[in-house]
Amino acid sequence: MNTGATTPTPDPTASPENDPSTGRRMLYVGTYTPGSEPAGRGEGVHRVWFDPNSGEFADGGVAARVVGPSFLALNAHRPRVYAVSERADGAVTVLRVEHDGGLTELGGHATYGAFPCHVLALGGHEAVVSNYGDGRVAVTGFGAEGHPDGEPGHHSGEHEPWQLFEHTGHGPVPERQEGPHAHSSLLVPDTVEPELRTLLVADLGTDELRAYRVAERAPADPSALHEDGAPGMRSVPGGLQGRVVLPPGSGPRHMALSPDGRYVYVTGELDSRVHVVRWTGDIDHARYLGSVPATAKEAAGENFPAELALHRDHLYVSNRGADVVSTFALHDGGARPEHLADTPVGAWPRHFAVVRGHRDEPDHLVVAGQNGDDLRSLRLDPGTGLPTDTGHRLALPDPVCVLPVPLRRIRRNQRPGG
């Protein structure tokens, strides 16, 4: 039952070392802030402690004062967090995860496009940034201390992305699809050149999944590096490899890959549907299979799906407008989603994350209600997979991204201070 309980705010410096509830997990939450576009009332990246048994939250204060960190990605091996600043002169910031869960800003640079809205961590020190404003996608890298990687001799005296993918085109919805709008990226297997990976880019403006090739790591032989490459990333020439065309006006936003790598699920922000693509490891043989409504009813123009995630044998989708998280069972090996339920959540649920339980702990969804100014936790039934509102809330201004961080593992692998 939704009790409407609000978690009281404890000492912002609290951490598992001095908190009696040592089993708490850590979440970073990105917010819109003054100076971002759109502007918000957040203060950057907020730190939140989460109790995996009860679903309660505790406010850990502001971890990093970054302008408009609307999307976050974790490189757990370094450990680093990449945060995009959503504004016209887009930027990506590198943050080091400290022993107490704090974040130290190491550096960052431009995203070579406008209004970045998504970042994907690659191997090494690399990241992929999707720029919504102009559709550009930058594969870029950072040195060990977070500064832009690459030598002036390689880049004419300026730090530039190792690969910059540009695009053209438009869609049938003039107010949203006047040009390309890269909204997210996803790494999928590549069977044509197995040492590489295919990078899919969801373009809301052109109703396509664009395919490129990238290498996650440098090859064993350093001489195999392309002359325009940089340490940790091999430049792969050729640009656009192909595309998967979705129905006109669908507005692809975010993607998720099935555990076996055979299906890509896509939220259609503009048509309020979940789309399914059969992935074979080769863009030339990828096949669009169809779509289902993102909620219990058709709601194009009223409901705008955002995030989606797979957990066990279910698919979860956040829906802005309907303000629910919808649950789907997957049939025929994953090819056919079946809608099971819509669970009410906070206003305008832009993002959510799965927080997996350890041992006997339950699994949860943590949902960021952008317009409701709160986080909410939903407990997942281990049998049915259906979420139930725990009633726990944490007031937080303009939350737009939730990133669980395995702090215990990071502590084991890294000395304090990284």
pLDDT of residue 193: 86
Tens digits of residue pLDDT in 34-61: 999 999 999 999 999 999 999 999 999 9
pLDDT value at residue 122: 87
**Amino acid 414: pLDDT:** 63
Confidence of residue 8 (pLDDT cuts 50, 70, 90): very low
How confident is the model over 351-374, as pLDDT tens digits?
A: 999 999 998 999 999 999 999 999
Q: Kindly tell me if the per-residue pLDDT of 109 is higher than 80.
A: yes
Query: Does the structure show a pLDDT above 70 at 69?
Result: yes
In the chain, % of residues over pLDDT 70? 84
Q: Which range among 10-24, 108-122, 138-152 shows the weakest confidence by mean pLDDT?
A: 10-24
Task: Please tell me the predicted confidence (pLDDT) of residue 216.
Answer: 55
Q: What is the pLDDT of residue 1?
A: 37
Q: Is the pLDDT of residue 230 over 70?
A: no
Q: What is the pTM of this model?
A: 0.89
Q: pLDDT band at 20, cuts 50/70/90?
A: very low
142 confidence band (pLDDT: 50, 70, 90) = confident
Determine contact, residues 171/189, Cβ cutoff 8 Å. Answer: no
Q: For position 146, what pLDDT does the model report? A: 63
> What 3-state DSSP class applies to 285?
helix
Average pLDDT over the chain reads 87
5-10 own/partner pairs: CB under 8 Å, 24+ apart: 5/391, 5/392, 5/393, 6/393, 6/394, 6/395, 7/56, 7/57, 7/58, 7/59, 7/392, 7/393, 7/394, 9/58, 9/59, 9/395, 10/58, 10/59
User: Which of 96, 4, 10, 1 minimizes the C-alpha distance to 49?
Assistant: 10
pLDDT digits 0-9 by tens, 84-94: 999 999 999 99
Q: Give dist(CA 253, CA 307) in Å, integer.
A: 8
Which domain range does residue 313 map to?
Answer: 5-413
Domain count, the chain: 1
In a domain, 256, yes or no: yes
Q: What is the CATH number of the domain that holds 81?
A: 2.130.10.10
User: Any idea which of 114-118, 188-192, 354-358 has the lowest mean pLDDT?
Assistant: 188-192
What pLDDT was estimated at residue 141? Answer: 85
On the question of pLDDT at 210 being above 60, the answer is yes
* % of residues, the chain, pLDDT over 90: 75
Is the pLDDT score of 168 beyond 50? yes
Largest CA distance in the chain: 62
The mean-pLDDT minimum among 143-152, 195-204, 304-313 falls in: 143-152
Q: How confident is the model at residue 404 (pLDDT cuts 50, 70, 90)?
A: very high
**E strand segments, 150-206:** 163-165, 182-189, 197-203
What's the pLDDT at 220? 41
Instruction: Let me know if residue 418 belongs to a domain.
Output: no
Q: Is the pLDDT of residue 155 over 60?
A: no
pLDDT in the model for residue 221? 43
Query: Is residue 238 very low, low, confident or very high in pLDDT (cuts 50, 70, 90)?
Result: low
Bigger pLDDT: 22 or 393? 393
The reported pLDDT for the residue numbered 143 is 72
Structure tokens at 171: 């869609």
Position 147 scores a pLDDT of: 63
Q: What is the spatial distance between Cα 201 and Cα 258, in angstroms, rounded to a whole number?
A: 16
Report d(CA 356, CA 330) in Å as an integer: 20
> Is the per-residue pLDDT at 302 higher than 90?
yes
pLDDT at 34: 98
The predicted structure's pLDDT at residue 153: 27
What local confidence, expressed as pLDDT, does residue 229 receive?
37
Distant-in-sequence, close-in-space partners of 340: CB < 8 Å, separation ≥ 6: 314, 327, 328, 329, 384, 385, 386
Mean pLDDT of 117-133: 92
